[in-house]
Structure 1
Amino acid sequence: MKASDRHRAILDLVLMRDANVEQLSSALGVSEATIRRDLAQLAKERRLVRTYGGATARVGTHEPEASLEERKATQREQKEAIAHAAAAHVADGDTVFLDGGTTCAALARHLAARQQELHVVTNNLLAVMTLANAPGVQLTLIGGDVRSSSMSTLGPLAELTLSRLSVDRAFLGADGVVAGFGLCEASAQQAWLKECIVSRAADVVVLADTEKLGRARQQYWTPLQRPWRLITSSLAGETLLQPFREAADIALEVAPCGPSDANAGAADDLPSFAG
């Protein structure tokens, strides 16, 4: 495992709970000496705090958000596979919500091609461009403030609109998804909007590629305290999937993904203490 990947895994682990050198060594399959060097480097970079025998997260630790172009370019095959699997959960006549993000935008493309009678409610401007002229689709755009990094809307106006409607199924994206915790986001407005969506949906489906599983490097959370479904890709290793398999309130679905994305998924097979 590359040092950068190992550092990322260490940060994910200590953000979930304090961890000692022995635990980190066992989880990552490297020597305790390597872990100590990694912790020293991460502490020097002020990304965590060293403790006696281990480390804890810095208060307020978070990573910069990826740009929209970066998001479009990463994990494309996984997102398409996940979107294809998600589309199978949409029936003729359904009212569905599509969250912001590129995976939900991929789902919009699948729905536009299906010639179904649907009512799609969304805050995803990428999805709006796809669905605006789709036959049989009634489209409702949730208004609000435009967030350029995801091309989605949020804020008080979006929250007010959501309080006046309900949907059969909500498809949500996230910066990270952790069993037992929920969805993590870069802003309080994003997290609260997702909580509003969850409260108005009969069913909740989270769409997350392998890079999002067990990822807890943002500061704001949407708790999922109800049964929900996670759709991810077959490139996720069992270590990543296990916390979701063990959670009684999560239905885990693994979408088949082609071998050409195997290298992209390999670095994501990182352990998590979550769940």
Structure 2
Amino acid sequence: MEIINEANQLELQDYAFSKKGVRQNRILYLLLKNKSMSTAELCNELNCSSATIRNDLRELDRMKLIKRIFGGAATLDDTYGCIPMKEHLEYARSEKELIAEYVVTNIIKPGQSIILDMGSTCLALARQLSNIDFDLNIITNSLLNAEALSQNPHIYLSMPGGSYSIPSDTFDCAWTLEYYENIHPDYYLTSANGVSTSGVTLTMTTDMTRALIKQKISEKAKKVVLLCDHNKINKTCFYHMCDISQIDLVVTDDLCSPDERKAFLNLGVDVAFAEDTQFSVK
């Protein structure tokens, strides 16, 4: 099933790599980082005219990505993309480690090919994979993942390269997207900022090409496994990564409330709760 049709995907790519798209994405990053900024401050940061910035702010406000305030704008989004990944790992750390342990024990088998996504839950998994004693082929766009995985001689490690973002710990650019065109892994182990019956979604982060890259890999992988702690359930963010029907398995922690557990089971896909060896299926 196609995530978006080819025409729409090309249109989104054109916008993502355009001067306007890069500028508006930079505005969102600055607002995420600073919470609010004046029009004059944004003009100074981006070396643009006040008319250009005001037009950008109107468009972003219309898309409900920011809130226009007197003389400037403020963020509506969370700060996920601005927190260094090592710090983000500390949030819900025990849940992420439980998820990682479940994946190593129950999903990954010798000789498989895996694309391991960026993100704090995937970083927890990379650190556990650094201790395996069987061969694996792993591709990752995360420098922190690669740092952990490179210590294990059983892992054949590849990276796509591209432009590196320190806050999000990922390589994202047009060349990165092209790299995945001819890749067909056994598993895509990925994470997201929100999951609901509406789909798997991502917040606006430092480079909107990340959503395109995740979409592309989801199309290419034989199986897609979503790793997310219970805090992500029933949360919908800006970017649509894929439909929930394109996820083969959701792995979450066993620390969720009864309502959160019910919400996971209502997704309509297989759900594995870490510490629980049985799959719960809607």
TM-score range, shorter chain: 0.5 to 0.7
| Residue of structure 1 in register with 2:78 after alignment | 63
Superposition deviation, residue 95 in structure 1: 0.2
* Equivalent residue for 1:79, pick from 83, 96, 99: 96
The unaligned stretches of length 5 or more in structure 2 are 1-61, 66-75, 277-282
| Residue of structure 2 in register with 1:205 after alignment | 225
Q: Cα gap change, 1:73/1:247 in structure 2, threshold over 3 Å: closer, same or farther?
A: closer
Cα contact 1:179–1:243 (8 A) shared by 2: no
Q: Which moved more, 1:148-157 or 1:60-69?
A: 60-69
- 5 Å-filtered alignment, 1:14-29, equals none
| Residue of structure 1 in register with 2:165 after alignment | 147
Distance 2:267 2:233 in 1: 14
Please say if 1:220 is aligned against 2:239: yes
Distance 1:141 1:157 in 2: 12
1:50-89 residue CA offsets vs partner (Å, 9 max, x unmatched): xxxxxxx982242232502430221111111000111121
| Residue of structure 2 in register with 1:46 after alignment | none
- 5 Å-filtered alignment, 1:33-48, equals none
Please say if 1:106 is aligned against 2:124: yes
SS at match of 1:93: coil
Q: Which moved more, 1:146-155 or 1:82-91?
A: 146-155
Cα contact 1:171–1:206 (8 A) shared by 2: yes
SS at match of 1:252: strand
SS at match of 1:230: strand
1:147-174 residue CA offsets vs partner (Å, 9 max, x unmatched): 2112111221111111121100011011
Superposition deviation, residue 251 in structure 1: 0.8
SS at match of 1:163: helix
Q: Cα gap change, 1:177/1:247 in structure 2, threshold over 3 Å: closer, same or farther?
A: closer
SS at match of 2:272: strand
Cα contact 1:143–1:158 (8 A) shared by 2: yes
SS at match of 1:204: strand
- 5 Å-filtered alignment, 1:128-143, equals 128-143=146-161
Structure 2 residue identity aligned to 1:163: E
Q: TM-score, normalised by structure 2?
A: 0.66
Distance 1:119 1:58 in 2: 40
1:11-67 residue CA offsets vs partner (Å, 9 max, x unmatched): xxxxxxxxxxxxxxxxxxxxxxxxxxxxxxxxxxxxxxxxxxxxxx98224223250
SS at match of 2:251: strand
- 5 Å-filtered alignment, 1:114-263, equals 114-187=132-205, 188-216=208-236, 218-224=237-243, 225-248=245-268, 250-256=269-275
Distance 1:247 1:114 in 2: 32
Superposition deviation, residue 191 in structure 1: 1.5
Cα contact 1:112–1:135 (8 A) shared by 2: no
Structure 1 residue identity aligned to 2:124: A
Q: Which moved more, 1:60-69 or 1:122-131?
A: 60-69
Cα contact 2:89–2:124 (8 A) shared by 1: no
Cα contact 2:226–2:247 (8 A) shared by 1: no
Cα contact 2:194–2:235 (8 A) shared by 1: yes
SS at match of 2:270: strand
Alignment identity in percent? 23
CA RMSD of aligned residues (A): 2.3
Superposition deviation, residue 189 in structure 1: 1.7
SS at match of 2:182: coil
The unaligned stretches of length 5 or more in structure 1 are 1-56, 258-275
Cα contact 1:185–1:191 (8 A) shared by 2: no
Equivalenced residues, count: 201
